Structure 1
Amino acid sequence: MDAGSPAQRRAAAAEAAVTERFLHRYGPVAWAHASASEATGARTWHYWWHAHLLHVLADAETHRPDVRRRRLIRRIGRGVTVRTIGRWTTPFYDDIAWMGLALARADRHPRALRRISKRLRRAIDPDLGALPWAVGSELYNAPANSPGSMVLGLTGHPVDAARLDAWVASTLDDPETGLVRDGVEHGVVRSELWTYNQGAAIGSALVLGAPALAEPADPAWTHVERACALVHAVERWCAPDDGLFPGVGGGDGGLFAGILARYLAVAARELAAAPGPVADAAADTARRLVDRNAEALWQGRHGTLFAADARRPARPEDDDLDLSVQLGAWITLEAAADLERAVTS
């Protein structure tokens, strides 16, 4: 891949901005602080944000291989090891599922990935067939179950993966919009719609539908159809804003839109290789959404600072200073680079 191509240059600029502003190296160990501003708590460390930092670094390494980045990935892995006292886990099943996906993408720390997979399998409620949000929680939500399904599918547990995915589809899919609602707590559906839940559900459907991507007669084709339906539901949702994803500010929300972009790019790439007009149409839609949001983030940047919301320009204050926001923009730009790479390779 030509590292000087437009999308690659943009992704590389976002990468450089994040590493320069947020990463701190302590010999063989590195981690990222939560904000570029000392006044807003620059020494805060977030496990979940580091999962996405590792994941997007692995994406960048696929697109623009570099020995320095590989060294950085090793250092950040050591940082997570230090911060979690070697466990690589937290009490939150959504967080460890996202970390599992990062480790699978980076192809590193296989023992930690196996530990995460084992914990997720053990945490499935045998009656509901779903993961709780955290140890002891009564909330069962999409952010735990869709990533959890992907991790289990990628680590050789397809039955458990399908069980989690089926629970999301049957319980959280909104019959009116086709979008995935947030979760269920004490039997009551939480109806909030978040971008990352749509992305994770698309990713889960594609992991389960992988055997059918080359052969629609495979029973797994139903998962491919679900992925296509979710892509079109996202397009309808974003249509009033010209296809731009809704932003929800900083903090954890700064990552939400980027996660959607990541899995839309996966959908665009994988569905383009699948037979039939249904897959083709969804692939085109997914690509258009990724490109539209990446372009808006790039055009609205302030120097190399990106906005928490693609629908407005960046501003060097408040939410836009969060690592999560800048990671989310970088993930989106890396997704666009991935699609550009798929076309030119």
Structure 2
Amino acid sequence: MSGWTERAEELQEVFYRHYWNERTAIMNQWYPLKEGVEGENYYYWWQAHAIDVLVDGWDRSRDEKYLERARELARGLKASNGGTYRHDYYDDMEWTALALLRMYDHTGEEEYKLAVLDLWTDIQTAWNGHMGGGLAWNKNQLDYKNTPANAPAAILAARLHARFGAEDDLVWAKRIYEWNLENLVDPETGFVWDGMNRLGDGRIDYDWAFTYCQGVMIGAGLELHAHTGEIRYLREAERTARATIDRLVDPETGMLPDEGIDDTGLFKGILVRYVKLLIASGAEGAEAWADILRRNGETLRELGIDRASGAIGPSWSEPPAGPVQLSVRLSGVMLAEALATSVIRAATSS
């Protein structure tokens, strides 16, 4: 495990050098940037995760450069989105709110608190009676409900309650979590399904087995346990963590799956972010997950980084064959930052 602090710093610097666009003040979508694609397929929510990754750098190093970069990116994200953080996709706003809440935690700057509360006001409008409740995914498709729109909102609501004390936010966190648990979690195994009624037929997408959904439901359970003391939330997070190993971790290599590019390129990183919190909690399965992250990190370090450019692809077992999307690169940096934390080093050395 030695050297991950230095490796995280190195990967952060290469990431920033490759993707930061000084002119637009947001991250480019590709490295190397393809001719004629600047601005194409602009994914608002990837930028939110880039802010989160920069805050990870601050958490590790306490180097002010990371917060200044995150400030610049937050300003650029708002400007590129028409002068507002509000968006048509509720899950995108939730990720932005979570990132900006961390910015507020570290800087105390009121603009971030106000932005988060404004986003939270808009996010609450997603709740409706279609499919028995839950938050919609998109303002233009209010009857499609999924884990990506609900579990991160439960995390956000619980954290808002913890930061600012509004009891109603805890009520929201519990209500959103319960809807997701009752509708999109396998009651036998704890494995989390992606969504329901995507095509207007009421069906659940049982075949969409993503690391992302497991990560955010684990995170929601951990937050509710932390802020209520109710053990059931921890047990449900542990159950989903076990199911994730059973379904999505290679039993021979311990590797997380290659989930491809575009949005799915971010999914492993999101799982890593919330599994890191599971490890920090000392929950059942913490040591197993610390070992899985260690194996993924060692494989990435040995096999998955392009030696010439420092690029990381969607598979952590082999270097990328061509240009790499921002989403994919973010996941690799999230893994490095997780492995640089003392709690994971301690878990893997015990």
TM-score (norm 2): 0.86
Matches within 5 A, 1:211-226: 211=227, 218=229, 220-226=230-236
Q: In 2, are the aligned partners of 1:93 and 1:144 still within 8 Å (CA)? A: yes
Paired position in structure 1 for 2:205 = 190
The 3 A distance-change label for structure 1 pair 84 and 9 is same
* 1:135 aligned partner: 139
Q: Which stretch has the larger CA shift, 125-134 or 192-201?
A: 125-134
Residue 145 of structure 2 is aligned to residue 150 of structure 1 = no
Q: Is 1:326 the counterpart of 2:329 in the alignment?
A: yes
Q: CA RMSD in A?
A: 2.1
Say yes or no: does 1:337 pair with 2:337.
no
Structure 1 residue 199 displacement after superposition: 0.5
Count of aligned pairs = 322
Match of 1:89 in 2: 86
Alignment partner of 1:284 out of 284, 287, 301: 287
The residue identity in structure 1 corresponding to 2:94 is A
Deviation at 1:182, TM superposition (A): 0.6
> Compared with structure 1, are the counterparts of its residues 161 and 327 closer, same or farther at alpha carbon in structure 2 (3 Å cutoff)?
same
* Match status 1:121 vs 2:146: no
Instruction: Give 1:177 shift.
Output: 4.2
CA change 1:126–1:313 in 2 (3 A) is: same
The letter for the 2-side match of 1:336 is L
What letter corresponds to residue 290 of structure 2 in structure 1?
R
Displacement of 1:316: 4.0
Question: 1:99-129: per-residue Cα shift (whole Å, max 9, x none)?
Answer: 1111122226111100111112222114623
For each residue in 1:55-82, what CA deviation from the matched residue of structure 2 results, as whole angstroms up to 9, or x when unmatched? Answer: 1111110101212222211111110121
Work out whether 1:164 is the aligned partner of 2:176.
yes
Q: Which amino acid aligns with 1:158?
A: L
Change (3 A) 1:48 1:162: same
Deviations 1:161-202 (A, max 9, x none): 111111111111124543101110132101111011110011
- Cα deviation 1:256-299 (Å, max 9, x = unaligned): 001101110011002x2xxxxxx3x3221222222222222222
- The 2-side partners of 1:35 and 1:221 are apart by 43
Stretch of structure 1 that moved more, 99-108 or 70-79 = 99-108
Question: Within 5 A, what are the aligned runs for 1:28-47?
Answer: 30-39=25-34, 41-44=37-40, 45-47=42-44
Q: Note if contact 1:63-1:341 (Cα within 8 Å) is conserved in structure 2.
A: no
Superposed displacement of residue 305, structure 1 = 1.3
* 1:89 positional shift: 1.7
Describe the superposition over 1:30-60 as per-residue Cα deviations: whole angstroms up to 9, x where unpaired: 2111001332624333211001000111111
Other-structure match for 1:7 = 4
CA contact (8 A) 1:180 1:201 kept: yes
Q: Which of 192, 195, 207 in structure 1 is aligned with 2:223? A: 207
How big is the shift at 1:324? 1.0
Partner-residue secondary structure (3-state), 1:292:
helix
Name the counterpart of 2:239. Answer: 229
CA pair 133-146 structure 1, distance change in 2 beyond 3 A: same
Residue 251 of structure 2 corresponds to residue 240 of structure 1: yes
Report if aligned partners of 2:90, 2:136 keep a CA contact under 8 Å in 1: yes
Deviation at 1:307? 2.3
2:53 and 2:259 map into 1 onto residues whose CA distance is: 20
- Classify the secondary structure of the residue corresponding to 1:38: coil
Residue number among 75, 78, 83 corresponding to 2:75 in the alignment: 78
SS in 2 for 1:189: coil
Q: What amino acid does structure 1 have at the position aligned with 2:135?
A: L
Task: Give the conservation status (yes or no) of the 8 Å contact 1:248–1:254.
Answer: yes
Q: 1:305 aligns with which of 311, 316, 333?
A: 311
2:16 to 13, 16, 19: 19
Asked if residue 265 in structure 1 is aligned to residue 276 in structure 2, the reply is yes
Say if 1:297 and 1:307, in contact at 8 Å, map to a contact too: no
The alignment-based identity, stated in percent, is 27
CA distance in 1, matches of 2:101, 2:346: 24
Give unpaired runs (5+ residues) of structure 1: 213-217, 273-278
Normalised TM-score (structure 1): 0.88
Q: Which runs of 5+ in 2 are unaligned?
A: 162-168
Letter in 2 for 1:146: A
Whole-angstrom CA distance in 2 between matches of 1:42 and 1:36: 11
Deviations 1:196-248 (A, max 9, x none): 11100111111111046xxxxx4x21101011111111121214352211122
Look up the equivalent residue of 1:130 and give its one-letter code: G
Please say if residues 307 and 325 of structure 1, whose CA atoms lie closer than 8 Å, have aligned partners that are also in contact.
Answer: yes
CA distance in 2, matches of 1:339, 1:97: 28
- Equivalent residue letter for 2:39: R
Partner amino acid for 1:43?
A: G
1:18 is displaced (CA, Å) by: 1.0
Structure 1 distance, partners of 2:178, 2:321, is: 43
